[in-house]
Chains A and B, each alone.
Chain A
Amino acid sequence: MQTGTANGTAETGRFGRFGGRYVPETLIPALDELAEAYAQASRDPGFLAEVDRLAADYVGRPTPLYRARRFEARAQVAPVYLKREDLNHTGAHKINNTVGQALLAKRMGKPRIIAETGAGQHGVATATACALFDLECVVYMGTEDVVRQSLNVYRMELLGAEVRPVDSGTRTLKDATNEALRDWVTNVGDTHYIIGSVVGPHPFPLIVRDFQAVIGREARRQILEVEGRLPATVVACVGGGSNAMGMFHAFAADEGVALVGVEAAGEGLGTGRSSAPLSEGRPGVLHGSLSYLLQDADGQVAPAHSIAAGLDYPGVGPEHSHMHDTGRARYASVGDGAAQAAFRELPGLEGIIPALETAHALAWVAEAGGRGEIEAPVAICLSGRGDKDVVHVAGLGGGAAAGAGA
């Protein structure tokens, strides 16, 4: 593992003007303690070696970089590589972060872990790391997501976690995060909050990015091995943005590499039923950091919507806001329908069932490829597998394998 603190964010807590620590005073000492513990750990060869060992022996890294030839034909662009984070233990990239943060919690002597989850993938990955390290685990999950992702609720319970349904607000990831923060404010002495994305107060966006940056480091090395060149375009879906930041970080200094984040347009931009703050939000403060945010004229946070529970969030990580403003990355959006179509299509083309979240990135590549607007080679972060979504999508009707590879 390597850490990336050369830009001064470790000291300032800022990505450009974004980020920061807008939290109740009660949490300040815990954030100071966490920043200090992380700074020490990230200089400790023993800690870094332990993260690397677990990544190899437990998570299953490195994950393959797979060339998706039938998808290339469909998307009319080649070559296209899929970074197979779905093949990680627990089925998504989330475990890269939870194993690292659980190790950090152990190091800090915190016996109790809390987490928020939307799609349930982060909750499962947190419950898994807690089982591994014998930590108490409480996961907050919006009641709407508990229904959408019932399989993951059962997985978390099997793993020994307590799932606490959150019935306030929009009953999704945003509200689960509020409730996790309230728990942390109350139990901050013995509890570490394993936040699941590159969001929240400093140092969380930095820590989560560093633990996820293994995705892009591997992908960069792998594509250089097979192609002898860097990708022209790197694509990932963006909710809070952890798989995207993990994928982008290693390429950030490669100026010729276009970085594209794909937000969820839900029922369409401008409908009030989307989750695309970088496309149609403005800077604001939610969950402890300044970043682009869906909000009304009075500064009330607007409800987000996406077919993908993991993208159903009105905010986004502050580093993405910075990359958006500097132009280092660009952010597109894909709606529920196109994402659902991509979800149904990839299994028949490649024998891979992608998560609905990931399907947004696939759909964008297919659309942009069809218009000839994407440069190859393309590397897509296949952030998670879609088993968790099968029941939900089946319930939407239209039959299985609609349009797949025909």
Chain B
Amino acid sequence: MTGARPPGRIAERFAGLAAEGRAGFVPYVTAGYPTLDHTRELVAGLAEAGADVIELGIPFSDPMADGPTIQRSSQGALDAGTTVGGVFEVLAELRGRSEVPVVVFSYLNPIHSRGVGNFVREAADAGADGILPTDLPLGADPDLEALLSDSPLDLVRLIAPTTRPDRVRGIAHASQGFVYYIARTGVTGARRELRSELAREVAAVRAVSPLPVAVGFGVSTPGHARAVGAAADAAVVGSALVDALDNGGVSGALDLARALRTALDEVGPAVPPGTDPA
């Protein structure tokens, strides 16, 4: 399934990180919050601030996997009139000035509503590299999953702390681009602490994953980023950036992004267990 496709921007970026011995920085942005103009400025700034992959979130009316922060930003984006088409326009503008890989993060219904084929084509035309449907677990809809994984976009899949070991392997092998490990059993949202078991769990995923592993959910501070960067291939930061955007505008969010980037550069290479970094 993955073998026939040429390596895209995401694979190239992770290969570059591995070669440099650096951990990746993956910021999440709720597209259209507080407006698409802010998003336009924010994603360009994130690319300059050293984002390795940008997760561009399509706002959805019923974000059941998200905590209060991203619920609020999603509703705010919709209240501001954000549409899927508008998000793709902002993405296309970004692509005019940056090669940063972009993963479109969405609940399934906006994808389904547009027609999966249409959605994927429009996203790819706008310059997206991957797609991450929050509510399409492995095996949920084989036909739809095949449409996505055979598309030009990398279908990024999620693994949770509750996922059983046999399924972890299956998901890691079905994923494309990278694997997203959910750092805790719960919804998105900034947290004070990461769980102490996280490094061990990530190591277990990396041991069976042919792809780099990014870790998100609750990764909020430079200290968290350092800890995640030491265990995983990349750290995903979402709610904390939305909070920073609320408190300090785009410049506030970019200040946090730079601090996270610096923290990730301070950790050494996270060598995947059981692999030969040849």
A residues near B (Cβ < 8 Å) are 20-30, 168-169, 174-175, 178, 181-182, 185-186, 188-189, 283-288, 290, 293, 295, 297-301
Contact = CB atoms under 8 A, between A and B. Distances in A.
A186 B185 contact: yes
Contact of A168 (B71, B137, B138, B163): B71
Contact of A182 (B67, B136, B167): B67
Nearest to B111: A299
Given A285-B108, A285-B112, A288-B135, A25 B163 contact: yes
A23 B135 contact: yes
For B64, B83, B162, B182, the residue with the greatest tally of chain A CB atoms inside 10 Å of its CB is B64
A28 B65 contact: no
Interface in B103-159: 107-114, 134-138, 140-141, 157-159
Contacts of B84: 298-299
Interface of B: 60-67, 71, 75, 78, 83-84, 107-114, 134-138, 140-141, 157-164, 167, 171, 182, 185-187
B137 A286 contact: no
A300 B82 CA distance: 11
A299 B140 contact: no
B61 A301 contact: yes
B95 to A, nearest CB: 22
B58 to A, nearest CB: 9
A4 B79 CA distance: 44
18 contacts: A22-B141, A24-B160, A25-B158, A25-B163, A28-B167, A168-B75, A175-B62, A178-B64, A185-B65, A186-B185, A186-B186, A285-B112, A298-B84, A299-B111, A300-B60, A300-B109, A300-B110, A301-B62
A186 B66 CA distance: 11
A26 B182 contact: yes
B158 A24 contact: yes
B185 A189 contact: yes
A295 B114 CA distance: 12
Contacts of A284: 109, 112-113
Given A22-B108, A169-B61, A300 B78 contact: yes
Contact of B141 (A20, A169, A283, A298): A20
Contact of A24 (B112, B113, B135, B141): B135
A185 B62 contact: no
Contacts of A28: 137, 160, 162-163, 167
A29 B159 CA distance: 11
A290 B84 CA distance: 21
For A178, A189, A300, the residue with the greatest tally of chain B CB atoms inside 10 Å of its CB is A300
B110 A182 contact: no
Q: Is chain A's binding surface mostly helix, strand, loop or mixed?
A: mixed
A285 B134 CA distance: 12
A30 B113 contact: no
Nearest to A175: B62
Q: Is chain B's binding surface mostly helix, strand, loop or mixed?
A: loop
A175 B66 CA distance: 13
A29 B185 CA distance: 12
Contact of A300 (B61, B67, B141, B167): B61
Nearest to B78: A300
B62 A174 contact: yes
Contacts, number: 118
A284 B109 CA distance: 6
Nearest to B85: A298
B137 A20 contact: no
B140 A21 contact: yes
B62 A26 contact: no
Nearest to B82: A298
B4 to A, nearest CB: 26
A23 B163 CA distance: 13
A29 B109 contact: no
Given A181-B64, A186-B186, A301-B62, A25 B160 contact: yes
Given A295-B113, A299-B111, A300-B110, 11 more contacts: A20-B141, A21-B140, A22-B136, A24-B134, A25-B159, A26-B163, A185-B65, A185-B186, A186-B186, A299-B60, A299-B110
A381 B189 CA distance: 44
A295 B61 CA distance: 10
A30 B60 contact: no
Contacts of A188: 162, 185
A293 B109 CA distance: 10
A295 B159 CA distance: 29
For A175, A181, A185, A288, the residue with the greatest tally of chain B CB atoms inside 10 Å of its CB is A185
B112 A26 contact: no
A264 B135 CA distance: 28
Q: What 3 pairs across the A-B complex have the smallest Cβ distances?
A: A299-B113, A299-B110, A186-B186
A257 B122 CA distance: 47
Contacts of B112: 283-285, 290, 299
B87 to A, nearest CB: 10
A29 B110 contact: no
A185 B134 CA distance: 13
Contacts of B61: 169, 300-301
A29 B40 CA distance: 39
B109 A295 contact: yes
B135 A22 contact: yes
A25 B64 contact: no
Contacts of B136: 22
A144 to B, nearest CB: 16
Contacts of B162: 25-30, 188-189
Nearest to B133: A22
A189 B161 CA distance: 11
Contact of B163 (A29, A169, A285, A293): A29
A28 B134 CA distance: 13
